Amino acid sequence: MKIYFTALLLFGSLLLACKKENTITTSDTPAMDMIDTSNDSGNLLKYSGNLSNGPYGSIAGKVKIYENAGRYSLVLDSFMVNNGPDLHVYLSREKQPVNFIDLGKLRSISGTQVYVIPGVPDFAAFKFALIHCQQFDHLFGVAGLQ
């Protein structure tokens, strides 16, 4: 009986330890990713657009591109999206992820988030922000930037 109880306890512990999380959590945000979007901070709103659903998700929010001292950041504002296994934020030339800059993994499925844009892309060409699942090549949402 003692062996049966011990085995049951061990098996139960393994089940709890192997619980799979089904959410994307907010990662630690490096200091360089943090920007103050208030009007007196030196950040200049350059482009913005509303997110609309792609074929594989439900999405809401606004995308904003800010410039500060020659550096650009993409902000997801009032953001919400369905969960996916490998969601990334792209700055793209097209509404589909063909020619794009990967800004990194999506940090959270909701809330305001900031992503540093490397270099100075040609914003006349990179007119779209995408939320895309790399693993399954599924587009969750897109915003046209104006």
- DSSP code per residue over 98-114: SSEEEEEE---SBS-EE
> Is 12 strand, coil or helix?
helix
- pLDDT at site 135: 95
Is the pLDDT score of 12 beyond 60?
A: no
pTM for the whole structure: 0.74
Can you give the residue range of the structural domain that contains 54?
Answer: 21-144
Q: What is the CATH number of the domain that holds 70?
A: 2.60.40
86-101 pLDDT, tens digit per residue, is: 999 999 999 999 999 9
26 in a domain, yes or no? Answer: yes
Asked whether residue 12 is assigned to any structural domain, the reply reads no
- Say whether pLDDT at 60 is over 50: yes
* pLDDT computed for residue 57 by the predictor: 86
In a domain, 103, yes or no: yes
Rounded CA-CA distance 9/6 in Å is 5
What rounded mean pLDDT belongs to the chain? 81
**Of 90, 79, 73, nearest to 26 (Cα)?**
79
Assigned domain for 95 exists: yes
**Ordered DSSP codes for 13-26:** HHHHHTPPP-SPPP
> Quick one: pLDDT at residue 108?
97
Domain count, the chain: 1
- Tell whether the model's pLDDT for residue 11 goes beyond 90: no
